[in-house]
Amino acid sequence: METLIALAIGTLTGCGVYLVLRAHTFPVVLGLTLLSYAVNLFLFSTGRLAIGQPPVISAGASYTDPLPQALVLTAIVIGFAMTAFVIMLALRARAELGNDHVDGRGDAL
Amino acid sequence: MNLLLAVLVPFIGAAWVAWASRRGRAAAAWNAGGVALLALLLLWPALTAGFAGQTTIERLAWIPAAGLDLAFRLDGLGLLFAAMILGIGGLVILYAYYYLSHQDSLGRLYAYLLLFMGAMLGVVLSENLIQLLVFWELTSLSSFLLIAYWRKREAARRGAKLALTITGAGGLALLAGFLLIGEIVGSYELSVVLASGDAIRADPLYLPALVLVLLGAFTKSAQFPFHFWLPHAMAAPTPVSAYLHSATMVKAGVFLLARLFPALSGTPEWNWLVGGTGLATLLLGAVVALFKHDLKGLLAYSTISHLGLVTALFGIGTPLAAVAGVFHIINHATFKAGLFMAAGIIDHECGTRDMRRINGLWKYMPHTAVLAMVAAAAMAGVPLFNGFLSKEMFFAEAVDAAGQLRFGIWLPAAVTFAGVFAVAYSLRFIHDVFFNGEPIDLPRTPHEPPRWMKVPVEILVAICLLVGILPALTVEPLLAVAAGAVLQGPLPEHDLALWHGLSPALWMSVIALVGGVLLYLGRKPLFRLHDRIEGRLDAREIYEHLLEGTLAFAHRATAAFDTGSLQRQATLIVVSALVLAGTGLLGAAAPLTGPRPLLPVDGVSLIAGLALVTATLAATFLHRRRFVALTLVGAVGLLVALVFIKFSAPDLALTQLSVEVVTVVLLLLALYFLPAETPAESRPSREEGAGGGRAANSRHWRDGILAIVAGAGAALLAWAVLTRPADTIAGWFLANSVSGGGGTNVVNVILVDFRGFDTFGEITVLAIAALGIFALLENLHLPAPRHDAHGRAWDADIHPLIMATFARLLLPLALLVSVFIFLRGHNLPGGGFIAGLITAIALIMQYLANGVTWTHARLPAHTHPWIATGLFIALATGLASWLFGRPFLTSAFGHPILPWLGELPLASAMAFDLGVYLVVVGATLLILINLGMAHQASHHDPTPKSLLRSDLPSRGEETLGAALRVSREDPH
């Protein structure tokens, strides 16, 4: 199971990095989204993997680490805010500059 | 609490006065004076105690874990400075009322002045060194505002910037010095630091600490070679100069010398550094002052000189010299404030400050002339005026210190030389301005100023005289407590009297007086000489060269890295991350795989995992077909949510699921305005020319390799973490969740209780992001495509009846679910974040299904108030715990049993969670609705509206839904 998660994190990171390095805004935003999945999964996995042990107190149960979960929960929401901000920036740049190149130059659309 | 309040009152008062000034100038002045008086009243008990020799210390826990307390201290030295700050501050407030013209905003000046007053009080009343530094920097900032008060004037802005740069840089050095002292002593408390002088002096870090602290003090007190900011600060209105450059701002540096005297003095390093700098400044200031034609320029250099005198006294380092230093601080504050005010009156009445034009004012304003002459005589050190007493003590100390030095005779000689110049420039101030013929070409005809404008000067001049004639009766008690606090020990024998017999100091005074008069009489050739060499060596030019050099270097360095290309920047970041992480990982000797037993893989997980990997790869390879890529990314997000479910994180799964929905909707809406396909990067663009294709191709390869390395690195890192046993602090949270936070859902309890402060920060970020997006979208006009990428028109059936109906039916249910999720959040998976997202989705559904117009009629257009309310509730919940004497955001809880509902787990944290909920709903809706509005605004309607209004929805309305239905027609 650990292999699978490590593989998933690796793929998400690699693909995220590749997309972030693209020259047009929309793929970059998608890349950032993938990267934030990767980071969230990685942070989450620092609490190690546990099946069927949610950190909700009940009699006699064992629990997984709640702290990374709390961190990731807010990270997901902030990640959304960041994605939203970047995509709006991209729209604004498109409106002001007439293209969707990340540096605002290149072929007019 | 009184000390804390007294320091806070001017800060609050600043805002209050700025507001009150709308009721007129008089209201502003009365209120500002009232604020100063209130601060004085609050300090009164501590002041009287300080006068009796007691030290008042107040302490409030601030960051106890870091050893930081909000601690205030009032002893003799604090008493003296607080009295000067508030006393002269009060006089300046009265004076400024008459000085400032009716076009200038008096309220703004008072607000800045009070800010400065509070900062200065904070400096002199701080018990904690770090806290002292915070106030120290506040004085730099508020003095910047004051100096730049006439912000339309170039000179004012430059002077303010210069002062801020120099004193700000000194503040940084001071911080480093304080940190070193804290390291040596193990505490930032002044009481401890002052008692550990021997330990500090014996420490190897003593010299660096001393130099850094002195840099702070010297920059603030305009000591050579940092003196040049002060003359340029004369661009400030004169009341500001009278306040900042007599009693307060520049005195902060010598205050620090006095404050840390027991801790740092008593070594040769101290004597030479402090004494040498003081002496150099004394001489330089005295000589330059004589040649300044600007009235305030003369006073500025004289201030520099007198500050050098005080510094030199502390540098001599004997207890008696320290007493003299404190005495001169008092005397200089009184006569220099008076002189600045007099200069302001002259400027005010003549319209110029040029002493070559201002002559013979005696005839026009004899009253002011008398006042100015008394103050100038005190500045010169004429007997019967207060300046004489401390100056004679200084001479005596110089003679004493010379006895300790080989060839020490130069010291009294240099000091007397400075004294000669002091007499000469004081004489010039009197003779040039009030006598010396007739005024030349003045813009206005001078006459006496308003009666009350002279009152502050009269008070100060009276003090000069009283202290000068009857020192033992007037100033001695204050001097005794202040000097006692400086020395932190017994006071040396000293005798404040006019006549000490025919001592060497007396002869030096006589030489200074006679020499000064002679020098002034023979000034003409000196002035010619000065005119010839003036401007050859200007410290400010050196400073500006340095500044320009630094800026040019920064520009070049930035330009070398930042070519304006995001791709290049991102590549640099990725490469450097890889290099750094790679060296770290390769250098580590530990094995890659840890000993933790692995979990077995089951079939479903395997399929889901492979699906995640496949979808990610597919999204990347198909990224040029944007709609497909977005759909795939959405699928990846859902699969990530599945991962969270599988591995015991129900809260995360719920959050991820709802965020995913919102993100995809948002990106779809945005995609409507962007090209549906990414153009191939390999196509040569205009700049790149024919070689562009190959360059772009190699870029694909390079990025691909970077991506693979990064992915492999992340996978290995994750593997290394996952296979190692966890060493976690989770036990504490699990054990205290129910007893401390009153909830069984530990994740939620951490969010709203244990780490509530973090969450508060996070929702603030969310709110800021939403507002930023709102600003970005304002007046956004994007060309809305009328067709999709294949040239087909949008679907005409924009709001299918079935979808619209069901969305409306679902709304109450969805809201009910979100309330349920919210309420149970403290004990079971759920909470404010998730409930907020669900509510937002439910409302956005209405926009999608029913269109903007329909929904707008039923929902508020702006959700800013929701965000504000949410933040306010969260903050208020946190602050409420202060009311019960508990730290910020301590929660209380109970389990009331309500009729019908049964037991309700109610924690104060729930109110906090409500704040979170409102912020999340408000921010999410703000973002999405405004993008939806951009659709409406951008859409150019080709058909006359009147034809459409009645039966068909307008074109703008359809776009939201239409954007989402691109898929139906998209063949991909």
pLDDT tens, residue by residue, B7-43 = 999 999 999 999 988 888 899 999 999 999 999 999 9
Distance between CA B650 and CA B646 in Å, rounded?
9
Which of B128-137, B613-622, B869-878 is predicted least confidently? B869-878
**CA nearest B624 in A: which residue?**
A27
Residue with tokens 């804390």: B4
pLDDT score of B303:
94
User: Does B956 have pLDDT greater than 60?
Assistant: no
**Residue among B631, B727, B773, B925 with most chain A CBs within 10 A, to mutate:** B773
Determine the pLDDT at residue B907.
67
The predicted-structure confidence for A18-34, as pLDDT tens digits, reads as follows: 999 988 889 999 999 99
In the three-class reduction of DSSP (H, G, I as helix; E, B as strand; rest coil), residue B13 is classed as helix
Can you tell me the distance from the alpha carbon of B774 to that of B928, in angstroms, rounded to the nearest whole number?
10
- List chain A residues with CB under 8 Å of B685: 106-107
Question: Of the candidates A14, A21, A33, which has its C-beta nearest B567's C-beta?
Answer: A21
* CB nearest to A2's CB, from B599, B828, B920: B599
Task: Using CA coordinates, name the residue in chain B closest to A50.
Answer: B647
Q: Per the CB < 8 Å rule, is A56 touching B670?
A: no
With CB atoms and an 8 Å threshold, state whether B722 touches A6: yes
Q: Which residues of B723-744 are buried (b: 16+ CB within 10 A; e: fewer)?
A: beeeebebeebbeebeebbbbb
Of B357-361, B454-458, B560-564, which range is least confident?
B560-564
**Residue closest to B582 by CA, chosen among B701, B718, B700, B717:** B717
Q: How far apart are CA B774 and CA B784, in angstroms?
A: 19
Closest Cα in chain B, distance from residue A81 (Å): 6
Please answer yes or no on whether A85 and B599 come within 8 Å at the CB atom: no
Of A40, A55, A88, the CB nearest to B747: A55
- Among B20-24, B103-107, B167-171, B901-905, the range scoring the smallest mean pLDDT is B901-905
Distance from CA of B706 to the nearest CA of A (A): 8
C-beta atoms of A10 and B612 within 8 A: no
**Cα(A15)–Cα(A38) distance, integer angstroms:** 10
Pairwise CB contact (< 8 Å): B728 & A47: yes
Sort out which chain A residues have CB atoms less than 8 A from B626's CB and list them: 26-27
Q: Which of A34, A73, A79 sits opposite B633 (nearest CB)?
A: A34
CA angle (B349 as vertex; B348, B355 as ends), nearest 5: 85
The answer to whether the CB atoms of A50 and B647 lie below 8 A apart is yes
What is the mean predicted confidence (pLDDT) over B284-297?
90
Helices H / strands E in chain A, number of each: 3, 0
pLDDT value of residue B421: 93
Packed helices B955-964 and B832-850: angle between N→C axes, nearest 10 degrees: 120
d(CA B143, CA B122): 14
Q: How far apart are CA B615 and CA B690, in angstroms?
A: 35
**Mutate which of A41, A46, A49, A69 to test chain B, going by most B C-beta atoms within 10 A?**
A69
Alpha-carbon distance B448 to B454, whole Å? 9
Q: What is the pLDDT of residue B789?
A: 64
Question: Contacts of residue B703 in chain A, CB cutoff 8 Å?
Answer: 17-18, 21-22
What is the Cα–Cα distance from B963 to B954, expressed in whole angstroms?
15
Cβ pairs A/B, distance under 8 A: 322
Closest Cα of chain B to A32: distance in Å? 11
User: Chain A residue closest to B631 (CA)?
Assistant: A30
Longest dimension (CA), chain A: 65
Give percent of chain B with pLDDT exceeding 70. Answer: 90
Q: What is the reported pLDDT for A60?
A: 67
**B410 band by pLDDT with thresholds 50, 70 and 90:** confident
Burial class (CB within 10 angstroms; exposed 0-12, middle 13-18, buried 19+) of B945: exposed
CA end-to-end distance (rounded Å), chain B: 71
Mean pLDDT of B237-259: 91
pLDDT attached to residue B679: 76
* Measured distance between the N- and C-terminal CA atoms of chain A, rounded to whole angstroms: 46
Q: Average of pLDDT values for B923-927?
A: 89
The answer to whether the Cβ–Cβ distance between B719 and A2 falls below 8 Å is yes
pLDDT range class, residue B504, cuts 50, 70, 90 = confident
Which residue of chain A comes nearest to B617, CA vs CA? A15
Cβ contact A1–B601 (<8 Å): yes
For residue A103, the chain B residue with the least C-alpha distance is B565
d(CA B348, CA B963): 69
Residues in chain A, overall count: 109
**Residues contacting residue B565 through CB under 8 Å, at least 6 positions apart:** A103
- Contact assignment for A45 to B721 by CB distance below 8 Å: yes
Residue B256's pLDDT band (boundaries 50, 70, 90)? Answer: very high
Cβ atoms of residues A12 and A37 within 8 Å = yes
> Which residues of chain B have a CB within 8 Å of the CB of A82?
769
**Nearest-CA distance B767 → chain A (Å):** 9
Alpha-carbon gap, residue B72 to B66, rounded angstroms: 17
Q: Tell me which chain A residue has its CA closest to the CA of residue B704.
A: A18
Distance from CA of A59 to the nearest CA of B (A): 11
Which residues in chain B are closer than 8 Å to A55, comparing Cβ atoms? Answer: 648, 730, 734, 745-747
Nearest-CB residue to B712 (from A10, A57, A77): A10
pLDDT at B339 over 80: yes
Question: CA–CA separation, B848 vs B782, rounded Å?
Answer: 20
Q: Answer left, alpha or beta for residue B407, where phi above 0 means left and psi between -120 and 50 means alpha.
A: left
Q: What is the pLDDT of residues B342-382, one digit of tens each?
A: 999 998 888 888 888 888 888 888 899 999 999 999 999 88
Residue B891 binned pLDDT confidence (cut-offs 50, 70, 90) = low
B667 and A87 within 8 Å at the Cβ level: the answer is yes
Shortest Cα distance, chain A CAs vs residue B674, angstroms: 7
What is the model's pLDDT at position B740?
Answer: 75
Q: Is B223 helix (H, G, I), strand (E, B) or coil?
A: coil
Binning pLDDT at 50, 70 and 90, where does residue B898 land? low
Q: Please state, in angstroms and as integers, the Cα–Cα distance from residue B293 to each residue in B223, B230, B432, B433, following that order.
A: 22, 16, 10, 11
For the cut 80, the answer to whether the pLDDT of residue B792 exceeds it is no
Q: Do B730 and A67 touch (CB under 8 A)?
A: yes
On whether the CB atoms of residues A15 and B620 are closer than 8 A, the answer is yes
Which pLDDT belongs to residue B462?
93
Task: Name the residue among B681, B685, B766 with its Cβ closest to that of A77.
Answer: B766
Q: Nearest C-alpha of chain A: how many angstroms from B905?
A: 14
Q: Would the CB atoms of B728 and A5 count as touching at under 8 Å? A: no
Nearest Cβ partner for A77 among B626, B659, B745? B659
Separation in Å, CA of B826 to nearest CA in chain A? 10
CA distance A61 to chain B (A): 11
- B718 closest CB neighbour out of A19, A42, A81: A42
The 10s digit of each residue's pLDDT in B145-177 is 999 999 899 889 989 999 999 999 999 999 999
Of B640, B673, B717, the CB nearest to A37: B640
Residues of A in contact with B683 (CB under 8 A): 107
**Contact assignment for A33 to B637 by CB distance below 8 Å:** yes
Q: Is B102 a residue whose pLDDT tops 90? A: no
pLDDT digits (tens, 9 = 90+) for B477-490: 888 899 988 988 88
Mean pLDDT is lowest, of B142-146, B297-301, B359-363, for: B359-363
Contact B651, B743 (CB under 8 A): no
Contact A2 B667 (CB under 8 A): no
Is B276 buried (19+), middle (13-18) or exposed (0-12) by CB count in 10 A? middle
| Option in A23, A55, A107 nearest B734 (CB) | A55
Task: Give CA B331 to chain center in angstroms.
Answer: 33
According to DSSP, residue B753 is labeled I
- What is residue B600's DSSP assignment? P
Residue in A7, A15, A28 to test binding to B, most B beta-carbons within 10 Å: A15
**Are A55 and B772 inside 8 Å of each other by CB?**
no
- The overall average pLDDT reported for chain B is 85
CB B453 within 8 A of CB B321: no
Are B877 and B869 contacting, i.e. CB atoms less than 8 angstroms apart?
Answer: no
Return the number of other C-beta atoms located less than 10 Å from residue B151's C-beta: 11
Residue B294 phi/psi, 5-degree rounding, is -80, 130
Q: What is the pLDDT of residues B48-69, one digit of tens each?
A: 888 888 888 888 877 777 767 7
For residue B776, which residues of chain A lie inside 8 Å, CB to CB?
A: 85, 88-89, 91-92
pLDDT score of B302 more than 90? yes
Burial class (CB within 10 angstroms; exposed 0-12, middle 13-18, buried 19+) of B879: exposed
- Within 8 A of A48 by CB-CB distance, chain B residues are 596, 722, 725-726
**Interchain contact, B781 vs A95, CB within 8 Å:** yes
